[in-house]
């Protein structure tokens, strides 16, 4: 497997469909390099090439957690820094298990005396040892690919706590359907966290906005109208209507 094969395979699994140009921008290499790396992946049946796009061979799923942490690192770091600047010492938070949420947890290490409930082992372990923090791990049965819990205990723990804000992420954003999760349990956790929170922050990088691409088979995440959407750069005009009920915060503009 070449240097970029694993990253391309994960990007296709994460997005469902992605163009050669998008992969070129994502990895910072030429289109020619992308085509050269893709050929053995196509020959091995790991991805398909259809009219200039690279398509997953099965239903899109979230790529393994640590692999997703390597994608869009600069963008996710900018988002995490912005979200951390919006959080004060002593706040109470519910945080989901997305890779962007993992970056946010790392950025929140500068804060003190946080109360956090999360279904993510990565988020929990990142924040549990910060002085003054109280961290509640929701759930006991963990998924093998991301260390997240979605069992009955996870929901029961979340339901017993009240927080000021919840911090969520999404697998994709569609200009018609809005924020999407690839699994029903992920959408359900988002609902459960919003139910205990006074406000919501949705953190998504620009690659999640599925402009001009067929949206994956996924489940809607319904956000409260006053939710804040934090992204690394303003989305295309196609998303104006679906984002209208929310407050959009762009790392490029600061508002």
- Domains of the chain, start order: 5-58 (1.10.10.10), 66-250 (3.40.50.1360)
DSSP at 224:
-
Are 230 and 83 in contact, with CB atoms under 8 Å apart?
Answer: yes
pLDDT tens-digit map of 82-140: 999 999 999 999 999 988 999 999 999 999 999 999 999 999 999 999 999 999 999 99
User: What average pLDDT does this structure show over 18-23?
Assistant: 82
Q: Tell me, what's the pLDDT at 216?
A: 52
Neighbours of 232 (CB within 10 A): 21
pLDDT class of 12 with cuts at 50, 70, 90: confident
Asked if the model's pLDDT at residue 5 lies above 90, the reply is no
Is the per-residue pLDDT at 162 higher than 70?
yes
Sheet holding 219-220, edge to edge: 172-174, 178-181, 219-220
What tens digit of pLDDT does each residue of 221-243 get? Answer: 999 989 999 999 999 999 999 99
Of 2-6, 154-158, 160-164, 224-228, least confident by mean pLDDT is 2-6
pLDDT for 58 equals: 63
Mean pLDDT, residues 144-164: 93
| Higher pLDDT pick, 216 / 74 | 74
Other beta carbons within 10 Å of 146: 20
**Per-residue model confidence as pLDDT tens digits over 38-85:** 999 988 888 888 766 788 776 555 556 666 666 778 899 999 999 999
Residue appearing with tokens 């991805």: 47
**Angstrom distance (rounded) from CA 162 to CA 166:** 10
Three-class SS of residue 214? coil
Confidence of residue 189 (pLDDT cuts 50, 70, 90): very high
Pairing state between β 134-137 and 172-174? unpaired
- The pTM (predicted TM-score) of the whole model is 0.74
Interacting residues of 237 by C-beta distance below 8 A, sequence separation 6+: none
**CA–CA distance, 166 with 193 (Å, rounded to integer):** 6
Calculate ∠ Cα 60-63-67, nearest 5°: 155
Q: Are strands 219-220 and 172-174 parallel, antiparallel or unpaired?
A: unpaired
């Amino acid at each position: 497997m070449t240097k970029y094969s694993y990253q391309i395979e994960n990007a296709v699994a994460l997005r469902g469909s992605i163009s050669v140009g998008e992969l070129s921008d994502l990895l910072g290499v030429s289109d020619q390099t992308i085509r050269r790396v893709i050929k053995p992946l196509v020959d091995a049946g790991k991805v398909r090439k259809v009219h200039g796009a690279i398509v997953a061979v099965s239903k899109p799923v979230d790529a393994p957690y640590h692999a997703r942490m390597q994608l869009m690192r600069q963008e996710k770091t900018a988002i995490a820094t912005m979200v951390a600047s919006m959080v004060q010492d002593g706040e109470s938070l519910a945080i989901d298990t997305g890779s962007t949420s993992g970056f946010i947890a790392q950025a929140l290490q500068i804060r003190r005396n946080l109360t956090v409930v999360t279904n993510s082992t990565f988020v929990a372990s990142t924040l549990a040892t910060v002085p003054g923090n109280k961290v509640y791990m929701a759930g006991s049965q963990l998924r093998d690919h991301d260390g997240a819990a979605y069992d009955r205990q996870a929901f029961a723990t979340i339901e017993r706590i009240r927080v000021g804000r919840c911090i969520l992420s999404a697998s994709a954003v569609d200009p018609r359907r809005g924020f999407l999760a690839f699994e029903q349990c992920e959408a359900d956790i988002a609902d459960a966290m919003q139910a205990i929170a006074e406000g919501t922050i949705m953190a998504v990088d620009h690659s999640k906005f599925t402009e001009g691409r067929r949206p994956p088979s996924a489940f809607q995440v319904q956000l409260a109208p006053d939710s804040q959407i934090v992204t690394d750069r303003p989305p295309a005009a196609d998303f104006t209507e679906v984002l209208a009920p929310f407050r959009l915060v762009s790392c490029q503009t600061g508002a």
